[in-house]
Chains A and B, each alone.
Chain A
């Protein structure tokens, strides 16, 4: 049995503002294996983004245990996290290639090698030929691809995605799902993927973690036993429906 890459036990998070305290996460407990793509779902405001910020080392936690990395996979939070948000957050004044290079610049990586890597990543996300464009010259979906390339440029071990396709139209979103699976397979990253899309969560994940309404507790955590490469056709399968119904029920939607 391999060691988990992310190990969370009874994680609590309290936001403090002056004397006021606000419990954002009451008990998050789950493991993520190296190379897994875990979908994280839960009602709005339950603390998913907060949990990602804890994983990224941006916030501390107020109880429980957070362990990232293992003896086989050492983890340095500054270099080993890539982040993708709902908005692409590209810098308007930088060309796509220079946007992708931003993390490498900040980390002070050797730029010649980083540039080569960025070009390879742009090819991986299907943006070859757009290196010299400005963000406004790209569609929303293409901008999000660039944001994914940016999250990978410093070769992080962990990629945190917070509703990355939430702002895209349904068709683009399905396409991006397939692309993400391909990128994930080719890059071998561990991914934690927050989404409101229940079918998206099942379609992508090796595992789905379901949180309760805030302050988040564990509602469920189960493996998705569907083979990769996943195809859109699988969405019509009996088992796929079982998984989505299970989540809907947990979220009190049924």
Chain B
């Protein structure tokens, strides 16, 4: 009961702030007589959603596939690489500096290359999202696995615990909060990566649609596309937060 009392008003306030933004938006457009091609009202934006011309569902499916695909690929590869590094010192000292250098590449700049290599479409955009989401996951996971209190290590070594016991009982659960912190950053980046890919070259997706309707100054459709992209991002982010709540004890969460 206590929990409910605590959490209910918080959710209510969160919903309220979102509604407030829409109201402000509406008033701004109406009272300021802002022309529709500069900024449509919320109603006009919603109208665009009802028009069948835009193929919303197909475009949502494409963009969501790129974002989620790139994201989960980055999660799998990032965590796997970080695990490999904790098991092999040689591997880590060989690859880690290289990866830190590679991380400096503005991943967006790889977009044109990736499109040359893979033609345009879902695959290259997924790869762009992947390349940009990979590093935060890899680096924070590696850091989390490395971070272990020396005296805790003594405790396990004193009991002649195996490397595997140290890993499963202490390192991996200890790294979980770090993995999630990387996953949150990566979620934001994956969305940006996929959209940049669609801007650079593609024939479907919400980013592609935005470029199409821009030509005719169809601002309501552009607004709607941005909102839908944001909602895909929010869904991904919310999923990560929910999973974190499930798996990480309150006190151990990083942000």
With a CB–CB cut-off of 8 A, which chain A residues contact B157? 58
A102 interface residue, CB < 8 Å from B? yes
Report A30-60 CB contacts with B as 1/0, cut-off 8 Å.
Answer: 0000000000000000000000010011100
A85 interface residue, CB < 8 Å from B? yes
Report A123-140 CB contacts with B as 1/0, cut-off 8 Å.
Answer: 000000000001110000
Q: A78-B160, A106-B161 are in contact. Are A93 and B152 (CB under 8 A)?
A: no
Report B129-158 CB contacts with A as 1/0, cut-off 8 Å.
Answer: 000000000000000000001011011111
With a CB–CB cut-off of 8 A, which chain A residues contact B165? 105-106
How many angstroms from the CA of A135 to the CA of B160 in the assembled complex?
Answer: 25
Q: Can you name the residue of chain A whose Cβ is closest to the Cβ of B152?
A: A89
Q: Is the interface of B mostly helix, strand, loop or mixed?
A: helix
With a CB–CB cut-off of 8 A, which chain A residues contact B89? none
Q: Is the CB of B176 within 8 A of A93?
A: yes
Q: Is the CB of B159 within 8 A of A53?
A: no
Q: A93-B173, A106-B159 are in contact. Are A83 and B251 (CB under 8 A)?
A: no
Report B167-197 CB contacts with A as 1/0, cut-off 8 Å.
Answer: 0011001101000000000000000000000
How many angstroms from the CA of A99 to the CA of B200 in the assembled complex?
Answer: 53
Q: Can you name the residue of chain B whose Cβ is closest to the Cβ of A52?
A: B154
How many angstroms from the CA of A78 to the CA of B174 in the assembled complex?
Answer: 24
Which positions 76-90 of chain A face chain B at CB distance < 8 Å?
77-79, 81, 83, 85, 87, 89
Interface residue from B156, B158, B159, B251 paired with A136 (Cβ < 8 Å): B251
With a CB–CB cut-off of 8 A, which chain A residues contact B250? 134, 136
Q: Can you name the residue of chain B whose Cβ is closest to the Cβ of A147?
A: B155
Q: A78-B160, A81-B158, A107-B159 are in contact. Are A87 and B151 (CB under 8 A)?
A: yes
Q: Is the CB of B169 within 8 A of A106?
A: yes
Q: Can you name the residue of chain B whose Cβ is closest to the Cβ of A57?
A: B158
A16 interface residue, CB < 8 Å from B? no
Q: Can you name the residue of chain B whose Cβ is closest to the Cβ of A78?
A: B160
Q: List 6 A-B contacts (CB under 8 A).
A: A56-B158, A57-B158, A83-B155, A89-B149, A91-B173, A93-B174
The interface of chain B, by Cβ under 8 A from chain A, is 149, 151-152, 154-161, 165, 169-170, 173-174, 176, 248-252
The interface of chain A, by Cβ under 8 A from chain B, is 53, 56-58, 77-79, 81, 83, 85, 87, 89, 91-93, 102-103, 105-107, 134-136, 154
